[in-house]
Amino acid sequence: MTDRTTTFGQSLGYGASSAQRNKVLRNTYWLLSLSMVPTVVGAWVGVAMNLGPIFSGMLGFLLFMAIAFGFIFAIEKTKNSAAGVPVLLGFTFFMGLMMSPLIQRTLGFSNGPQLIMTAFAGTAGVFFAMASLATVIKRDLSGMGKWLFVGTIVLIVGGLVNAFVGSTAGMMALSMAAIGIFSFWMLYDVKRIVDGGETNYITATLSLYLNIVNVFQNLLALLGIFGGDRD
């Protein structure tokens, strides 16, 4: 689960011109596509170096949260400067490293590569659907953010509890809920750009990237549970 407090707390002023909104949207999609490169590289490095144990257990989780929040803070501080893009790309490399344990476990299945490609295609499909819907829907979705924020907090708390309980059923329920919540975050975040509520493409990219990563990871986890083949 990842932090949404930054994007949730930003102003929802809609003063941007149509040209500015389109520019922010184009730059966001460009940077979002670029961010996938260091993510893949980070995941490959993590698998090759077997870094999974470093981030395992509660200490590993706390280490991840400290580094992730540090990166998010740095991105917000540099989002209006030339350093913003490199810092964001550094964060996406780190997130690739963090995904490597899940990727490695999935590759332990005989159909692991197919599961990864299926999760990638499914995530891309969800993003395309939500982004397309955001560009045509006329309704004001600003009120949705409050509910999504609450839902995200519930997911984080549920994930911490389940880390101690170790319930497979609980993990499945949390993963399905996460896919739904972060899919709607995609809709909400793209809609904010379209309506002029978000005018910084680095911040917009960070929000959408976190949504995509969460959907991908939880979808891949479910595919591993239901479709993983050890033969």
Report whether pLDDT(175) > 90. Answer: yes
Instruction: Determine the pLDDT at residue 11.
Output: 39
What ranges do the domains of the chain cover? 16-227
Residue 139 neighbours by CB distance under 10 Å: 8
* Cα 149 to Cα 31, 86, 122, distances in angstroms: 25, 28, 24
- Report pLDDT digits (tens) over 121-174: 999 999 999 999 999 998 888 889 899 999 999 998 998 888 788 778 888 999
For the whole model, what pTM was predicted?
0.88
The one-letter code for the residue type at 15 is G
What integer best gives the mean pLDDT of the chain?
88
Instruction: Determine the pLDDT at residue 130.
Output: 96
Report whether pLDDT(54) > 90. Answer: no
Among 20-29, 135-144, 162-171, 184-193, which is the least confidently predicted range?
A: 162-171
Report whether pLDDT(59) > 90. Answer: no
